[in-house]
Amino acid sequence: MVQFFQYAFLWRSLAAAVIIGSLCSFLGVFVVLKGLSFSGAGIAHGAFAGVALAFLLGVEPFLMGLLFSLIMVWLIGLSSKKGNLNLDASTGIFFAVTMALAILFIGMMRQYNTELFGFLFGNILAVTEKDLLFMTLIGFVVTLALIIGYRAFYYWAFDETMAEASGIQVEKVFFLFLSLLALSIVASLKVVGELLVTAFMVIPASSAYQLTYSLKNMIIISVILGAIGSVIGLVVSFIWDIPSGASIVLVLGLEFLLCTLFSPKKRHKGVGGGDVGGR
């Protein structure tokens, strides 16, 4: 434990865990309420295909990941809004296509690339100063957008038709949210990896959901659980020498179990059985 704090790379990992843990669990609240976790997984696949291509071509992986994930957002979004496909089906198509692309790119590489596999499974201990800068920047932009747009995201998450009738351009909100999701997923790849990033978003939000009846509190609790879980997961991964993505997700899972056990909602029988306010 003492050695833990002696290394600069560990401080960097810790900072990355806190930033990504909070960011993902903030967005995760809306992902859970809108049922967008499969779209999140699809976007992550797209991002990974971009990263794989970047390694093949020898260019910056983050930029290629961003490009691919944003293209993915538009493809998924447009085919579900303009075409006659539901979101699930359109995500499913591009989910498979981008995975196939990633496999193709990996197959074209001459040798096994450890760094690339860090993006698949997460390798938080390999976070560099540049990565951390990139994560901070994205974390700042996404958080700012969520805070400024909070009322619109809230209304959109509650009911799209009512939001639209109140003057919110719900289609724009939808695309904006998916784009913020894409940015955050790309920033998270090195910390948790493409395969686990959706869990990273969904678990803290679902845990928070067990504990509160207010959206604002749900966000605050989710962010706290996400950040704490990531830090504990990181420490555990260092001590027992297991992959960081896996250990963080396991800690988050444990948090979920505890929140469910202590959820006040489970015990609640409902005051609304009869029409209390009726005359």
Partner 1 sequence: MEAKTLLEVKNVTAGYPGHVALKDVNFSVAFREAVAVVGPNGGGKSTLLKVIMGLLEPKEGTVLFCNESLMKNREMRTKIAYLPQQSAINPHFPALIEDIVRLGLYGELGLLKSVTKEHEQRIIEALEKVDMASMIGEPFEHLSGGQKQRVLIARALISNPVLLLLDEPTTGLDLKSQESILQTVKDLSEKEKLTVIAVTHDQVFLKNWAERVIRIEQRLTFDGSSSEYFQRSED
Positions in the binding site for partner 1 (CB under 8 A): 33, 148-152, 154-155, 157-168, 209, 212-215, 217-218, 268, 270-279
Would you say 59 or 89 has its CB closer to partner 1?
89
Would you say 48 or 155 has its CB closer to partner 1?
155
CB of 213 to partner 1, least distance (A): 4
Would you say 208 or 235 has its CB closer to partner 1?
208
CB of 210 to partner 1, least distance (A): 10
Match 């293209």 to its residue by tokens. 71
Amino acid at 71: I
Would you say 130 or 151 has its CB closer to partner 1?
151
CB of 206 to partner 1, least distance (A): 11
CB of 174 to partner 1, least distance (A): 14
Contacts of 23 (CB under 8 A, 6+ apart): 138, 139, 142, 143, 184, 187, 188
CB of 163 to partner 1, least distance (A): 8
CB of 166 to partner 1, least distance (A): 5
Q: Quick one: which of 145, 235, 216 has its CA closest to 181? A: 145
Would you say 58 or 273 has its CB closer to partner 1?
273
CA torsion, points 147, 36, 102, 64, in degrees to nearest 10? -20
Would you say 79 or 123 has its CB closer to partner 1?
79
Q: Quick one: which of 268, 98, 73 has its CA closest to 194? A: 98
Would you say 117 or 158 has its CB closer to partner 1?
158
CB of 145 to partner 1, least distance (A): 11
CB of 278 to partner 1, least distance (A): 4
Would you say 4 or 154 has its CB closer to partner 1?
154
